[in-house]
Amino acid sequence: MIPGSRDVLLVIDVQVDFLPGGALAVPEGDAVIAPVNRLLGLFPHAVLTQDWHPPEHVSFAASHPGGIAFDTVCLAYGSQVLWPEHCVQGSAGAELAPGLASERAELVLRKGHHPAVDSYSAFLEADRRTPTGLAGYLRERGFTRVVLCGLATDYCVAWSALDARAAGFEVLVVEDAVRGIDHAGSVARAWAEMAAAGIGRIAAGAIAGYTALP
């Protein structure tokens, strides 16, 4: 693959709280930073997303009496996993990862800021009705292919990829520039769902100009 003018790199939620030691750490989450930076240097256009929750967000276990992290509850818009408090607006944990080449992005999209609705996808809130505006932005810019990387494979990356495909974009996920939470086999399920939707899977080394770590 040769990145071109109609391609956009979409970097999902590479934030402090998702790195080792963070409030909702993704195993080996910090391993994506170096490959993501290399990709940011190759793609002419890039967008970053940033989880940006208000305090007492509906997805936090602490917002529900007796709530336990990783349990599932039923909310007005459907099933919701309860999470530890993470990526609270203005907190150190919500910051983009140290060392991430965020200056190369043309847009930083903040999601999950509605108090009563979660947001995994960069395109639609978890109620599956409220758009973030990203699809319109990408169309207006003339992009036709979205290449995803970041955190976490089985949640925000997969949901974003599936919604990008449903919005009519060609979609690729860089398999060695993502990491997953992998709760009860969730990573394998996510890859299967993406494949069934026609989403491609590519190694970073198959992207022209990419140099692997020494």
Q: Residues with catalytic annotation?
A: 13, 111, 156
- Pull the structure tokens for residue 72: 């599932």
Residue the block writes with tokens 């990862």: 97
Indicate the SS3 state at residue 107. Answer: strand
CA-nearest of 118, 112, 186, 125 to 153 is 186
Q: Which of 171, 125, 122 minimizes the C-alpha distance to 148?
A: 171
> Letter for the amino acid at 200?
G
> What is the distance, to the nearest Å, from the Cα of residue 50 to the centroid of all Cα atoms in its chain?
8
Q: Which residue has the tokens 């818009």?
A: 77
Q: How far is CA 73 from CA 44, 59, 70, 119, 201, in A?
A: 41, 9, 10, 15, 32
Query: Between β-strands 78-81 and 72-75, what pairing exists: parallel, antiparallel or unpaired?
Result: antiparallel
